Structure formats: C-alpha cells, structure tokens
Chains A and B, each alone.
Chain A
Amino acid sequence: MTLDWLLDPWSAGFMRRALVEAVLAGALCGALGCFVLVRGLAFFGESISHTIVLGVALAFLAGLPVSLGAAALAAVTVLAVQAIGAGGRLSRDTAIGILLPSLFGAGVALIALSEGYRSRLEDVLFGSILGVTDADLILAAAVAAAVAGALLLAGKELALVAFDRSTARAMGYSVRLLDLLLLGLVALAAVVALRAVGNLLLTALLVGPPVTARMLCRRFWPMVALAAALGAGAGIAGLYATWYFDVGAGPAIALAVGCVAVAASLVAQGRRWERRRAATAGAGPQ
C-alpha cells in the first residue's frame, strides 16, 4: 500500500523526467549554493535568475532553444558583474543592482510581444518541470557533470578563496579566474534550475539547502554534500506534493525547501538547549 503510494507518481513518463530534472537541479543548486553562501553572493544568484529571462525571451522570438538564450545572458551577466567589480569604483552588488532590473525588465517586455504571453511568462517565473524534454535532461546532466568536474579540479581552491582571499593570492592562485569560474558555475546551475522552479523561486534552491546544511554541519565539504542531498530531496518531495495535492511543482519544491530549513533550525536550536543544559548541569553542585 505504502509502496504503491510511493511508486505511483513515477508511473508516468513526464513525472520520471521531472524527477531526474528535480534531483539534478536540486543537487546542483544545493552544492554550488554553499559557495554562494560563504562568499556572500546570494544577490548575484538572485540577479542571474532574473537577467536570464531576457535570454529566454530572445530565444523565444528567434525560435532557438530557451536554454541557449538563458546561458548566453548568464554569461553576459557574469562578465559584466566581474568587469564592473574589477574596476573597483562600484561594488559588485551595486553593479548587480543596475543590471538586474534593466535586463529583467527588457526580458518581460519582450515576452509580452510574443504570442501566448501569459503561459510563457508563468513558465519563466515558476518553472515548468512537468514539461521537461529529453534535451533539457541532457543539458542538466551535462551541467551536473561539468560542475562535478570543476569542483573536483578546483573545489578546495574555491573554498580557500572564500575563507582567506589574501592568502590564496599570496599562494599564487589567480583569484580573479577562480571568481570567474565560480560565477560561471552558478550561472550554469541557474540555467538548469530555471526549468525546474522558475526564476522567482530559484533563490530558494540556491540559498535554502545551504543555509539549512550550515546549521547542521561544522565543516564545509560535509555541508556541500548535505546541501546537495537536501536540494535533491526537496525536488522529490515537491513532485510528490504536485502529484497528490495538485499544486504547482515549482512552488511545491520551494515550499519543501522552506519546511526543511525550519525543521533544521529547530534541530539546531534543540542542540543548543541541550548543550546549555549539559553545561549548566556540569557546572552545578555535585
């Protein structure tokens, strides 16, 4: 009975594809989100999710694959943010504050020009994971492989830059290049996650699982592994909610992320009380 309940959603082909997409997008955003969190780049993640809307709109109008347009705008955003940040006159967040509304506004305006405006806009804002194609899955798998490869190659160096930038530079690492690599990886993950949860809810996947994992982990790599697992788990939970309660998949996934974060904060608070009680008991009269 329970097994039927668990397996029933995956009898449909579109749900199996959605499952793969949700797991890949969740794991990608969870893992990379840890770097976003320790580098204080959450605003950048938010910005990427919005600026790529312009790419999506341009791709619609040109009849090109949506992901291609999104990836192109992601690259433009990364390079622009990096270039403005490197200039030293404006902070990275200021650069983002200028880029985000102008590119997002242009994207929404362009979508309004196309036919089927409303449904397309909803797809962009909230994702359309139940409609993912094989091409989407191939893209997600390729991005996952690229991110895994990059983290194997330079994960410890990326973590070092986050912890102690000046020493990384003193050790001879090109911190600018490592910054560019990180921004690029986050942009790729955003392109994948756009399909799963849409641009409004992308930040949930990018920030929620890492924040949750941070509450439970003392070391960085276990935190990355847990955040990836939580992101994937939230994707699966969201799809169950979609199947059984007929709610939108993107919002359901975002809600699952929120629920896990609340649960983790309660666990972390419980641990703190436990420690305080143990300390008080230890300090008290024998």
Chain B
Amino acid sequence: MKRAAAGSPPAIVALDLSVAYEGRPALTGVTFSVPAGTLAGVLGPNGAGKTTLLRALLGVVSHTGSVEVNGSTSYVPQLSAVDRTFPVDALGVVLMGRYPRLGWLRAPRANDRRVAAELLDQMGLSDRARSPFASLSGGQRQRVLVARALAQEGEVMLLDEPLTGIDVASQEVVLQVLADHCADGHTVCMTTHDLAQAARVCDRLLILDGRLVAEGPTREVFRPEIIRAAYRAELLSLDGETALVHHGVHPAP
C-alpha cells in the first residue's frame, strides 16, 4: 500500500543534532533520516526529547548539528497547547491552515473554504463545521487540528502526541488519514506514548531517551531489549509486534 520510497531523497535528515535549554541538554547527538512517503513514530519516556526533536525539525529552537527537512512542513501541536476557550468554530480553525499561503492582508476565499469543508468531511466532522471549537470533544478537536495541518498542504507533517487523551474512534480516524496521507507520497512524523499503536501503524520508529536509542524500520527496532533500554523502569511483555506496558499507559488492543 505504501509508496516505495527507494531512490527518492529522504524527507528528513538530522546529523549529530543536539538541543539544550539554558545549558541543560534536551537532545544529544541524534542522527537519523526518514525516507519520503513514510509514517515515522517518535517514541520515548517523558522528557526523552520527543517534542524538542519536532521543534528542531520546525526550526523554532536553536540547535547544533544539522537538520534538513525537504519540503514545507505542517504541524499539529499537543491539544493542551491550544486555547480551547477561543471563540472560533471548527471551520475557522481549519481555515487557519491556509494563512501562510494567503499571506498578510488577504482573508480566506471561497476556494479555501471549500478545501477546509472537504477536510472536515474527510475527518467525519462535516456536521460540526459551525460548532464552537470549545464545544467539541477532545477527539473531535484533535481531528480538527489534523484537518488544519492537511489544509497547509505541506510535504512533511509533524504531529506532537496526536493520539494522547482522545477516544478510540478518533484515534482510528486520525491514523487512517495519516496512512492515506503517506500513501499519497507525503511524510508524517509523530511523537507518541502509545507503543502498541506505534508498532502497529508506523513504518519506522525513532526511540529517544535524551539521545537516540534506536531508529529504523519498525520490525527491526521494536524489540524487547531496545524498548527496555529506553523505558528502563517500565515492565514490558512483548508479543510479536504488539506490546503490553503494564506500568504505563495504554494496554494493547
């Protein structure tokens, strides 16, 4: 199903990437690449540097080493980073994704509204287009934010914890849309706490713990000894490609 990425230049390349906040290292010496058209999952315990990695890819945090993203980016922040009390409806949020291409001065036009409405439809939210963002459930808000990122029409989409704290139905919609997006040749890179979901849907995994623990195709990386090295304190039992994280977080389906 996935488009073959062989031969095409990688969408993301990082060489010896390090980021520090006020002298305190958050990421040290990370080197990896993500081929175009793949869905990459970034895993790691809290404070492992997952969000920092996305920030470095977006170019909004100063770093050493090099980062190259081939193509324009779109971004889905953590749900908690968005002011849910802001007076805006779902359609209005998706239209924000059009702002960079509109430029200063210009307001969204009929074509932008059509694109936004179609994306909401794709997310299963066509009947909520005019609902206040604040009135939507967490899963619905997350779907609106993914629609907004799609409206940016970037080549590389970066998502910060898109599956955290949302209902299973919304998770499935988001994951299906991301898989389709990759199948169209786009690249997706998302951070997640959900090991089982990541193992199930991602083509590649990056496992961080302040540094790079492992990276590569999911089948090669998702191994007991590697997971244990990253999540030292957590008890795992592995069964084929899915994992059960007992202390942690989400049981596998």
Contacts and interface: CB of A to CB of B under 8 A. Distances in A.
Interface of A: 38, 152-154, 156-157, 159-160, 162-167, 169-172, 214, 217-220, 223
Nearest to B83: A163
Interface residues of B, number: 26
Given A38-B83, A164-B83, A219-B89, A169 B60 contact: yes
A167 B83 contact: no
B88 interface: yes
B105 A152 contact: yes
Contacts of B96: 156, 160, 163-164, 167
A204 to B, nearest CB: 21
Given A153-B105, A157-B99, A166 B83 contact: no
Interface string B91-133: 0110010011010110100000000000000000000000010
B83 to A, nearest CB: 5
Given A38-B83, A157-B104, A171-B99, A163 B88 contact: yes
Contacts of B92: 219-220
A164 B87 contact: no
A156 B73 CA distance: 20
A149 to B, nearest CB: 10
B77 interface: yes
Nearest to A39: B83
B56 to A, nearest CB: 12
B169 interface: no
A162 B83 contact: yes
Given A153-B104, A157-B99, A167 B87 contact: no
Given A170-B75, A218-B89, 15 more contacts: A38-B86, A152-B105, A156-B96, A163-B96, A165-B81, A166-B77, A167-B96, A169-B60, A170-B60, A171-B75, A171-B100, A214-B87, A218-B132, A220-B86, A220-B92
Contacts, number: 67
A156 B102 CA distance: 11
B177 interface: no
Contacts of B105: 152-153
A176 to B, nearest CB: 12
A74 B107 CA distance: 31
A15 to B, nearest CB: 36
A177 to B, nearest CB: 12
A160 B108 CA distance: 13
A163 B88 CA distance: 9
Contacts of A165: 81
6 contacts: A157-B99, A159-B88, A162-B86, A171-B152, A217-B87, A218-B87
B100 A167 contact: no
A38 B92 CA distance: 16
Given A153-B104, A171-B99, A171-B100, A163 B86 contact: yes
Contacts of A167: 75-77, 81-82, 96, 148
Most-contacted residue by chain B among A153, A160, A164, A165 (CB, 10 A): A164
A172 B77 contact: no
B226 interface: no
